[in-house]
Amino acid sequence: MTAAHLLQVAAGGLLMGLVYALVAAGLSLIFGLMDVVNFAHGELMMLAMYAVFAIWAINGTDPLLLLPIVAVLLFGIGIAIYHGLIARALSVQFNRGMVQIFVTFGLAIFIRGACQFVWGGDFKSITGHWLAGRTIELGGVFLPLPQMAASAICLAAFAGLLAIGRTEFGRALEATREDRDAVALIGIDRNRIFALGWGLGAGAVGVAGVMLAGFYYVGPNVGASFAVIAYVTVALGGFGSMLGALVAGILIGEVEAFTAAFWEPSLKQVGVFAVYLAVLMLRPRGLFGRL
Amino acid sequence: MPHDPILILDNVSASYRGLRALQGVSMTVAKGEIVAVVGANGAGKSTLLKAISGQVATEGAISFDGKPLAGVPGHMITRAGIGLVPEGRRLFPRLSVEDNLRLGAYARRGDPNRFKPLDLVFTLFPRLAERLAQRAETLSGGEQQMLAIGRALMTQPRLLMLDEPSQGIMPKLVDAILAAVVRIRDLGVTVLLVEQRLVEALEIADRAYVLQTGRVVMHGTAKEIAANEDVRRAYLGM
């Protein structure tokens, strides 16, 4: 095992970890804002991937060019999900917790089934795009350009979310998260804030999906596998914590990469879940959690 | 009947947590007045303010500035010019004092003068100016009350409603807060004050309503209410 090999593994973990971080950030944002776990989060990412695939398959538009369009599309889908489903689920009188769980769970199954219906169950991949197959070499470490671009864009989107948090709108988000009933006293419509929160969460995971589509297979189960990692990331980072999502995302990426490299590639998620169990036992609120 | 009314309640009933908390309440608040609502615990005072601010469903008619408030959501009632300083203050505990205040003007985005009331808030409560960067949860009870009033003032209300502003704060600060309420009124903001401390409330109020088990049992000028034998016996133990 050479130092170059170690660096290579670490670099791969970092690149994937940044994608995980953005996926988790969207999940964490929605959960932190309104205590709703979006079980369809992975499916939203998958929807973004299929959107890229579908447009690319029709006219060959490069995934990179589709980034803004699909991000905005997912933002709109997030808002529609809030108004169409979540707001209703929040207004039920009985068993609200169960209703919230099953409404997003059901949505996940619906999206998965719909995608399978439209595009079939087999794996698709987007080939021959601008970055496909290109790598750069940095000190003996080979970095594939699609992954490089994905991690850079995800990091930028992450920074964008943090920047939004510092704006006046970000303060309103924070206020709504602290006391959703009291914001009416300052003239804020919490439904609007909640809807925008869903838009941002879905838009974030949409960005991750677009970039992922450049080097990852597209299939009806791809969302579920990423969602599981996102839950672990959020739990590890601490529910509702953005910084936690970033640190935990990178950590998970590294654990996965090193498990695959030194143990067995097919067991890479075992390492991730070992970390998850350790967190649950030793620090249930996560690294940066406030709960 | 006072002239130039800003708030009119006509036969308002409301339930809160399954209990009939208001029954056929009618009252009028005129522009520029301080109107006190007094009564024992559980008389319906807080529910009254919740009803006006759109937090509980009501029967009967409530109108503000001539416009009915039926079906208007809470945040629009705030934007229409009714500010509420609620029971328990309901500040945003992890946000700074400054953020709490500035968020009061959030709904007025686009208005270049929306932060102007900050000057007034700091004149009324200089302590807040010294604690701008502190989290709201680290303030003392009295300071939190000041912040809650300040945040409500940032919405530029024409009617300010206060729910027990003296609750849980040091006696010394109670006077300061009630003095601030008088100054706020003198600046042209109408005040509806719910208070357990009858003597202090009637001292600064122009008129008062006495609530008992959800009904108005008496109303008149603050002097009349303060002089009333029944009120003194029931609420002052005299």
Find, in chain A, the residue whose alpha carbon is nearest to that of B94.
Answer: A178
Find, in chain A, the residue whose alpha carbon is nearest to that of B53.
Answer: A185
B156 touches chain A (CB under 8 A): no
Q: How far is CA A152 from CA A21, A145, A284, in A?
A: 12, 10, 30
Q: Tell me if A266 is assigned to some domain.
A: no
**Rounded distance, CA A161 to CA A57, Å?**
31
Q: Do B75 and A184 touch (CB under 8 A)?
A: yes
The reported pLDDT for the residue numbered A290 is 67
Selected residues 37-76 of chain B with any CB under 8 Å from a CB in chain A: 53-55, 73-76
Q: Tell me if A106 is assigned to some domain.
A: yes
Q: Tell me if A287 is assigned to some domain.
A: no
Compute the nearest-CA separation of B123 from chain A (Å): 21
* Complex ipTM: 0.92
Q: Do B78 and A187 touch (CB under 8 A)?
A: yes
The reported pLDDT for the residue numbered A93 is 84
Domains identified in chain B and CATH numbers: 31-42+73-236 (3.40.50.300)
Contacts of B109 in chain A (CB under 8 A): 168
Q: How far is CA A233 from CA A208, A240, B144, in A?
A: 15, 11, 37
B231: pLDDT confidence band, cut at 50, 70 and 90? confident
Share of chain B above pLDDT 70, in %: 97
The reported pLDDT for the residue numbered A135 is 93
Domain count for chain A: 1
- Residues A225-273 pLDDT 10s: 899 999 999 999 988 888 999 999 999 999 999 999 998 888 888 989 9
Contacts of A187 in chain B (CB under 8 A): 75-76, 78-79, 106-108, 155
Q: Give me the residue label for tokens 């209300």.
A: B157
* Nearest-CB residue to B155 (from A174, A186, A189): A186
The reported pLDDT for the residue numbered B17 is 78
A154: pLDDT confidence band, cut at 50, 70 and 90? very high
Which residues neighbour A126 within 8 Å (Cβ) at sequence distance 6 or greater?
Answer: A52, A53, A56, A63, A132, A213, A214, A218
- Residues A88-108 pLDDT 10s: 999 888 888 899 999 999 999
* Nearest-CB residue to B74 (from A171, A179, A184): A184
The reported pLDDT for the residue numbered A19 is 97
Find, in chain A, the residue whose alpha carbon is nearest to that of B82.
Answer: A185
* Nearest-CB residue to A186 (from B54, B73, B151): B151
Q: Do B103 and A179 touch (CB under 8 A)?
A: no
Q: Tell me if A161 is assigned to some domain.
A: yes
Q: Is the pLDDT of residue A122 over 90?
A: yes
Mean pLDDT of A134-149: 92
- Residues A27-67 pLDDT 10s: 999 999 999 999 999 999 999 999 999 999 999 999 999 99
- Residues B19-31 pLDDT 10s: 889 999 999 999 9
Q: Is the pLDDT of residue B220 over 90?
A: yes
Q: What is the sign, positive or negative, of the torsion defined by CA atoms of B157, B158, B164, B166?
A: positive
Mean pLDDT of A118-142: 91
Compute the nearest-CA separation of A55 from chain B (Å): 39
B203 touches chain A (CB under 8 A): no
Q: At what angle do helices A168-178 and A3-34 cross, to 10 degrees?
A: 70
Q: Tell me if A125 is assigned to some domain.
A: no
**Residues of the domain holding A67:** 15-120+142-223
The DSSP output letter for B209 is E
| Helix ranges, B115-221 (H) | 117-124, 126-130, 141-154, 171-186, 198-204
Q: Tell me if A189 is assigned to some domain.
A: yes
Q: Tell me if A231 is assigned to some domain.
A: no
Interface test with B, best of A181, A186, A191 (most B CBs within 10 A): A186
The reported pLDDT for the residue numbered A206 is 98
The reported pLDDT for the residue numbered B193 is 97
What's the residue count for chain A? 291
Q: Tell me if A245 is assigned to some domain.
A: no
What's the predicted TM-score (pTM) here? 0.93
Pick from A51, A35, A18: nearest CA to A210: A51
Mean pLDDT of A175-179: 96
Interface test with B, best of A33, A185, A196 (most B CBs within 10 A): A185
Q: Do A188 and B106 touch (CB under 8 A)?
A: yes
The reported pLDDT for the residue numbered B16 is 79
